[in-house]
Amino acid sequence: MMLFNQIHEIIFHGNGGYDWHTVYNMPIWLRNFTFNKLKEHYNPKDQDDVVSKSKSAMRTAQSDGIVPKINVPTYVTKASKKK
């Protein structure tokens, strides 16, 4: 059962780069390596670290003027009604 789960995960998360027969006939070491690399890519160990790095990068980009800061309006207007 683990074999078929591993094949499915590689095909599904491989974004079309692998077909069933290719993955099934891969050497075991290569299939395990591919599976683990995809697993690392889609499930980083430290999600909080990824989020904090992303927020830090956004703040740096905004302060450098690369990404403009978005000003949210403090008022709400209603659209005019058509008659």
* Mean pLDDT, rounded, for 4-17: 88
Of 2 and 79, more confident = 2
Q: Is it the case that residue 83 has pLDDT exceeding 70?
A: no
Question: Percentage of the chain surpassing pLDDT 90?
Answer: 17
Cα–Cα distance list, 14 to 33, 39, 50 (Å):
13, 11, 22
Q: Which residue has the tokens 């005019």?
A: 80
pLDDT tens figures, 34-45: 899 888 888 877
String of b and e for 10-27 (b: at least 16 CB within 10 Å)?
A: bbeeeeeebeeeebeebe
Mean pLDDT of 50-67: 65
pTM: 0.51
The least confident of 28-37, 40-49, 53-62 is: 53-62
